Amino acid sequence: MKNTSLFTLLTAAIFAASSMLSYADEKVNFAIAIHGGAGAISQKKMTPAIREKYENKLAEAVNKGYALLEKGASSEQAIIAAIKVMEDSPLFNAGRGAVYTYDEEHELDASIMNGKTLNAGAVSGVKTVKSPITLAQSVMNNSVHVMLSGKGAETFARQENLALVDNQYFNTERRYKSLQKAKEKLQKQLRELKDYQAAHQKLDVEYKVGTVGAVALDKQGNLAAGTSTGGMTAKRFGRIGDSPIIGAGTYANNNSCAVSATGHGEYFIRYHVAADICARMQYQNISVQEAADTVINKVLLEAGGTGGVVVIDKQGNITMPFNTEGMYRASRSSTGQSTIAIFKNE
Ligand code: ASP
């Protein structure tokens, strides 16, 4: 009897120890991936000094988001923090480094989606909001709407006590030069083709891409995605791209994945890129890598659409495919995986 109870006690102790061990082994997975735009990033022009600047900013953004996730913050908080770092930097086409419109102003777009609630917020064509992603978050959490545009969105930003700036705050010399070049090329094409839309189609890809975005999975298992952009250089007529369009430039659903896109917006809208990746995962039961790769390197490429995405699934698997020369990107996961890269095969 004595022996039997000793045996039972021992078995229970071994069982308890082994289950504690497996609990400790079972790491809660959390991760974040960000991008700073895809496009014709010239390897030749990329000096070590320029590269270092981009890498440092990407590291700052991804680490800021990761640190929040590590402390238990939500994926929504993490992506906002990461995107704000890039919006505040003149290096990227969002916030301070936003490209110029044809009329030499800046019109900014942004969106965010929460994968748990499927709530979403977006703003388009705002000119005086310092952080468009923060305004998109306010639209999502503090309004009954999904998308606000132009002056109305700015009035709402004022009501929300968000930081407002003069449109010139977004000026940078580099982007101004780029606008002048784009305009020269447009005029030349216009003389030959006599059609503005056709001339615009001929504009090099470098004028049509560049954006920032982030996706994350938090310790609670919730996904979120966000994107912020200045849009396309020399855009006119109140043109809006994919970045503020839920399902095109941004999508998040705990049942599948979270996506932030960058690229030639017109294609991303028509091919519903972000939502298509998540739908393929969910309905075809395929991996996040396969779904994203098919959409970017097959569907979009065949259609003539250039760009890329950062995607994370509910297990924390990350993929960052693009069909351009490069895409500024970084990721960090609680499994120890981390990346900072610009070109292919990095
Ligand atoms: N997708 C953005 C737009 O079309 C630009 C970009 O991501 O590069 O407005």
Is the C-beta atom of 263 inside 6 A of ligand 1? Answer: yes
- The stretch 248-255 carries a mean pLDDT of 98
Q: Is the dihedral of CA 98, 103, 105, 108 positive or negative?
A: negative
Please name which of 131, 126, 193 lies closest in space to residue 162, comparing C-alpha atoms: 131
Is the C-beta atom of 229 inside 6 A of ligand 1? Answer: yes
211 is an active site residue: yes
* pLDDT level of residue 25 (50, 70, 90 thresholds): very low
CA of 227 to the centre of ligand 1 (A): 10
Is the C-beta atom of 242 inside 6 A of ligand 1? Answer: yes
Is the C-beta atom of 327 inside 6 A of ligand 1? Answer: no
Q: Which one of the listed residues 101, 211, 233, 250 is annotated catalytic? A: 211
CA of 16 to the centre of ligand 1 (A): 54
How many CA atoms, within 13 angstroms, populate the side-chain half-sphere of residue 78? 33
Is the C-beta atom of 133 inside 6 A of ligand 1? Answer: no
115: three-class secondary structure by DSSP: coil
Average pLDDT over the chain, rounded to whole? 91
Question: What's the angle, vertex CA 212, arms to CA 211 and CA 216, rounded to 5?
Answer: 145
Q: How far apart are CA 64 and CA 211, in angstroms?
A: 19
Domain ranges of the chain: 29-343
Over the stretch 49-102, which tens digit does the pLDDT of each residue have?
999 999 999 999 999 999 999 999 999 999 999 999 999 999 999 999 999 999
The model carries a pTM of: 0.90
Domain at 29-343: CATH architecture: 4-Layer Sandwich (3.60)
- The stretch 24-42 carries a mean pLDDT of 80
Is the C-beta atom of 211 inside 6 A of ligand 1? Answer: yes
CA of 24 to the centre of ligand 1 (A): 43
- Return the C-alpha torsion angle 196, 198, 203, 205, nearest 10: 130
Residue pair 342/307 in contact (Cβ under 8 Å)? The answer is no
Over the stretch 118-174, which tens digit does the pLDDT of each residue have?
999 999 999 999 999 999 999 999 999 999 999 999 999 999 999 999 999 999 999
Long-range contacts of 46-49 (CB under 8 A, 24+ apart): 46/342
Over the stretch 305-326, which tens digit does the pLDDT of each residue have?
999 999 999 999 999 999 999 9
Residue bearing the CA closest to ligand 1, atom 7: 262
Backbone φ, ψ for residue 283 (5° rounding): -90, -30
Residue bearing the CA closest to ligand 1, atom 9: 231
Environment class of 21 (CB within 10 Å of its CB; exposed 0-12, middle 13-18, buried 19+): exposed
**Residue of 278 and 345 predicted with greater confidence:** 278
